Amino acid sequence: MRVSGTVQDSIVDGPGLRFTVFTQGCPHGCEGCHNPQTHDFNGGSETTAAALTAQMLGNPLTDGLTLSGGEPFAQAEACAELAEAAKAAGLNVWVYSGWTFEELLEKAGAEPEVMRLLRAADVLVDGRFELSGRSLDLKWRGSRNQRIIDVPRSLSSGVAVES
Ligand code: SF4
């Protein structure tokens, strides 16, 4: 998988102390994006879910894994492998996506790996970044349109349930 970078002890990408992976490659092109260096699908560097898992589990104080971007669902299979390893180790999993929960459900019809990643996620922060809805008061998200979604409850009910 291609990544832009990792942060070992993040406190800004979800609750607690988190291992954050910024995936490389994003198709959304949101105006005002804070991570434009993550857009190029040929940029960043190549690694594997196994290597990232070893890095993630190297710190026993880590509470959770956050997959950010870039667009994690553009590399859903490798991200799912990493997320499943996090769950197996008792860590919680947050995933950021420019696609909405509803769009991801639609994608999952043709791409089973999208559903695999959704099933491994506890929380999805969804939707493109909208400059007009930006606020520094928002916790865990960049713009007001984005939602913090309880993924297990949303998958069992079939509609997005915000947490
Ligand atoms: S989805 Fe995220 S990384 Fe991609 S362009 Fe939008 S803000 Fe930037």
Domain of residue 106, CATH code: 3.20.20.70
Assess if residue 17 is contained within a domain: yes
Residues with CB under 6 A from ligand 1: 26, 28-30, 33, 35, 38, 69-71, 98, 128-129
Assess if residue 45 is contained within a domain: yes
Once rounded to an integer, what is the mean pLDDT over residues 70-97? 98
Q: How far is the CA of 51 from the centre of ligand 1 (A)?
A: 25
Write down the pTM of the prediction.
0.96
**pLDDT value for 5:** 97
Assess if residue 163 is contained within a domain: no
Q: How far is CA 103 from CA 1, 54, 69, 75, 140, in A?
A: 23, 32, 17, 16, 21
Residue 136: pLDDT over 90? no
| Burial bucket for residue 159 (CB in 10 Å: 0-12, 13-18, 19+) | exposed
**pLDDT value for 53:** 98
Q: How far is the CA of 2 from the centre of ligand 1 (A)?
A: 16
> How does pLDDT run across 20-54, given as a tens digit for each residue?
999 999 999 999 999 999 999 999 999 999 999 99
* Ligand 1, pocket-test mutation among 33, 96, 132, most atoms within 8 A of CB: 33
Assess if residue 55 is contained within a domain: yes
Assess if residue 111 is contained within a domain: yes
Q: What is the number of domains present in the chain?
A: 1
Residue-number span of the structural domain to which 37 is assigned: 2-157
